[in-house]
Chain A
Amino acid sequence: MSAILAVHALEKTFGSLVAARDISVAVPPLQTVGIIGANGAGKTTFVNMITGHLRPSKGTICFEDRDITGLPSREITRLGIARSFQMPQIFPSLTVFENMCAATAIAHACGGLLAQLLTPLYSPATMAQAEAALDLFRIASYHSAVAATLPQGVRKLLDIAMAVAGSPRLLLLDEPTSGISIEEKFDLMDVVMSALKNRGITVLFVEHDMDIVERYADRVLAFYDGTVIADGSPVETLENPRIQELISGPKLKISALTAKHA
Chain B
Amino acid sequence: MAARSIVIGTLAWLLVAAAAPALPQWLVSLATVAFANALVVLGLVILWRAGLVPFGQALYYAIGAYTVALIGRYSEIRDVFLMIAAAAVLSGLTAFLTGLLLARYREIFFAMLSLAMSMILYGVLVKTETLGSTDGFHVEQPTYLGYAPQGNMHLLVLFWLVLACGALSALLVSFYFRSVAGSLAVPVRDSEIRLEFLGVSVNRLIHLNLVIAGTLAGIGGALAAFAVEHVDPDMSYWTTSGGFVFVTILAGAGSVAAAFVGSFVFELLKSIAYDLLPGTWQMFLGAALLVTILFLPEGIGSLFVRLQRRPEAKAMGAKMGAKSTSALS
Contacts and interface: CB of A to CB of B under 8 A. Distances in A.
Contacts of A203: none
Interface residues of A, number: 38
Given A74-B199, A82-B197, A117-B179, A102 B184 contact: yes
B190 A93 contact: yes
B184 A113 contact: no
Q: From B198, B205, B208, name the one whose CB has the most chain A CB atoms within 10 angstroms.
A: B198
Contact of B208 (A89, A113, A121): A113
A94 interface: yes
B326 to A, nearest CB: 8
Interface in A163-192: 163, 165-166
A107 interface: yes
B100 to A, nearest CB: 15
A78 B199 contact: yes
A32 interface: no
A113 B183 contact: no
A166 to B, nearest CB: 7
Given A92-B190, A122-B178, A83 B198 contact: no
Nearest to A78: B199
Contacts of A77: 196-199
Contacts of A103: 198
Contact of B198 (A85, A92, A113, A165): A165
Interface string B110-153: 00000000000000000000000000000000000000000000
Contacts of A109: 180
Interface string A40-77: 00000000000100000000000000000000111101
Contacts, number: 97
B197 A89 contact: yes
A162 B181 CA distance: 17
Contacts of A120: 178-180
B290 interface: no
Nearest to A73: B196
A91 B197 CA distance: 13
A259 interface: no
Contacts of A91: 186-187, 190-191, 194
B199 A166 contact: yes
Contact of A121 (B183, B190, B205): B183
A116 B199 contact: no
Contacts of B176: 117
30 contacts: A72-B196, A77-B196, A78-B199, A82-B197, A85-B193, A89-B193, A89-B197, A90-B194, A91-B194, A93-B186, A93-B190, A94-B186, A102-B187, A106-B180, A108-B180, A110-B199, A116-B184, A116-B200, A117-B176, A117-B182, A118-B179, A119-B179, A119-B180, A120-B178, A120-B179, A121-B179, A162-B194, A162-B198, A163-B197, A166-B198
Given A94-B186, A107-B199, A108-B180, 10 more contacts: A73-B197, A74-B196, A74-B199, A93-B190, A102-B184, A105-B180, A106-B200, A109-B180, A118-B179, A120-B179
